[in-house]
Amino acid sequence: MSSLSTKQRLRPKEIENEIDERGAFIRQPNHFTTPFGEGEGELKAEAGRYRLFWAKGCHWSNRASIVRELLGLTDAIGINLVGHSKENSAFGWEFVYNEDRKDPVLGAQFLSEFYYNADPDYQGRCTVPALVDITTKQVVNNDYHRLTNYFETAFRPFQAPDAPDLYPEEIRQEIDDYNDWLFPNVNNATYRMMFAQSLEAYEEAFEDFYKALDEIEERLSKNRFLFGDYVTDSDVRLFVTLARFDTHYYRNLGPIKRRVVDYENIWAYLRDLYVIPAFRNNTYFRDIAAPRSENKSLFQDFNSRFVNQIDYEGIWSAPQTRKELSKTPEEKFKRHGKGNE
- Active-site residues, by number, are 58, 191
* Beta bridge partner(s), residue 52: 79, 131
**First and final CA of the chain: distance in angstroms?**
57
Largest Cα separation within the chain, whole Å, is: 59
Residues 44 and 157 sit within 8 Å (Cβ to Cβ): no
Alpha carbon of residue 152 to chain centroid: 16
Determine how β-strand 138-141 pairs with β-strand 130-133.
Answer: antiparallel
Q: Is 174 exposed, middle or buried (0-12, 13-18, 19+ CB in 10 A)?
A: middle
Q: Is 327 exposed, middle or buried (0-12, 13-18, 19+ CB in 10 A)?
A: exposed
Query: How many helices (H) and strands (E) are present in the chain, helices listed first?
Result: 13, 4
CB burial of 190-226 (b: ≥16 within 10 Å; e: otherwise) equals bbbbbbbeeeebbebbbebbeebbeebbebbeeebbb
Reported residue count of the chain is 341
Instruction: Please give the DSSP secondary-structure letter assigned to residue 41.
Output: T
From residue 166, give the alpha-carbon distance in Å to each of 55, 169, 299.
Answer: 22, 9, 43
Radius of gyration of the chain (CA): 20
Q: How far apart are CA 92 and CA 85, in angstroms?
A: 9
Sheet holding 138-141, edge to edge: 77-82, 50-55, 130-133, 138-141
